Amino acid sequence: MMASSYNAKEEDGHHSGASSHGGAGAVKSKKPDNTAFKQQRLPAWQPILTAGTVLPAFFVIGLIFIPIGIGLYVTSNNIKEYEIDYTGADVNTPCYNCAQNFSWNSTSCLCSVNFTLEQPFESTVFMYYGLSNFYQNHRRYVKSRDDSQLNGNTFALTNPSKECEPYRTNEGLPIAPCGAIANSLFNDTLTLYYIDSNGTRNPIPLVKKGIAWWTDKHVKFRNPGSNSNLTVAFQGTTKPVNWKNPVYELDPSDPENNGFINEDFIVWMRTAALPTFRKLYRIIQKNPSQTATLPSGKYVLDITYNYPVLSFAGRKRMILSTISWMGGKNPFLGIAYITVGSICFFLGVVLLIIHHKYDTRNNSADIPN
């Protein structure tokens, strides 16, 4: 061990004060100072890996992870999910004519998809819309928004951020909301009907409020000014290029769901990380007087086809799903736990066999002379 008086700068007979007598031409030592930190003498814990510590760790991890993985996998499989692709890319699909002839400037096209639920959905059902091959994670797309404008800032309303280009202004007027994200807002309308034994179409009530995050609805998104008349509040602005109606007409029947605080708009503005994604569209609440929220039987999905996707080889789908305490259907987490636990348990068995077969050490001769 080094003596406590050791100084790295006094090595080879040179004293630390030599540089002061050597003039300007003296070369300073590049050796680190003699401190516990720089000389790496700080207290440290170094684990000694032995069979007695490694083997139990492998077995414990395996015995904990495998049951957790099985529980997660079974829970995920118990979630009921039904998916309908209504892109209309194939000739025999109901929305083929709408998909082939529709563009952003076209009038709305109507199509219907018939389907059958083999099993009832007992609990609250969540209706999603899904898109494929849509890269909301592109850097320029993600940045193409003005959060100050979305937060109700009156200056940003009429002076949008340059990040919104080329969807910042249109015909000399500022766009509200500006940017590529808002301009590409998903605007298909989905309506669900249950066909009873008499062939009557019974509409399924779809709840449109409560689909956005609370922080988004009440903190990040606000309408400009204090004027309850949104037509006046958004005066001097224009709608996004691809929109049919201005932002203050997203839901004229409900002032609490109109303008920047429209929940469909808020859900869309939270960009997805992957090119294939789903976003919450509506909620079908469980009726206490009925045994099932969606009983098994025949259904019709009416679609107001407003959103073209064939131009970028995309797909559109509607998903009905229940949830559990762990969220939606996702078997990956359970499979990952089972895989890791099984590998650890298998390695523990292999190492245990190797340890018993080849461990011939003599404890009395651990340290040779």
Position 163 in a domain: yes
Q: Does residue 38 surpass a pLDDT of 70?
A: yes
Give pLDDT tens digits for 283-305: 999 888 778 899 999 999 999 99
267 burial via Cβ count (<10 Å: 0-12, 13-18, 19+):
buried
Give pLDDT tens digits for 349-368: 999 999 888 876 544 445 45
Position 263 in a domain: yes
**How does 18-47 read in b/e, with b if 16+ C-beta sit within 10 Å?**
eeeeeeeeeeebeeeebeeeeeeeeeeeee
Task: Outline where DSSP puts E strands in 136-276.
Answer: 169-170, 173-174, 189-195, 201-203
Position 338 in a domain: yes
H or E element, residue 338? helix 332-358
Question: Same structural domain for residues 142 and 178?
Answer: yes
Question: Same structural domain for residues 317 and 352?
Answer: no
Token digits for 218?
């009440």
Give pLDDT tens digits for 151-196: 999 999 999 999 999 999 999 999 999 999 999 999 999 999 999 9
| Cα 48 from chain centroid (whole Å) | 41
Q: Cis (ω within 30 of 0) for the bond into 295? A: no
Of residues 101 and 144, more confidently modeled: 144
Domain boundaries, position 293: 81-323
Question: Same structural domain for residues 295 and 308?
Answer: yes
pLDDT at 63: 95
User: Whole-prediction pTM value?
Assistant: 0.79
Question: Does residue 265 sit in helix, strand or coil?
Answer: helix
Question: Same structural domain for residues 58 and 143?
Answer: no
Question: Same structural domain for residues 352 and 303?
Answer: no
Question: Same structural domain for residues 94 and 120?
Answer: yes
Q: How many domains does the chain have?
A: 2
Question: Same structural domain for residues 143 and 255?
Answer: yes
Q: Does residue 77 surpass a pLDDT of 90?
A: yes
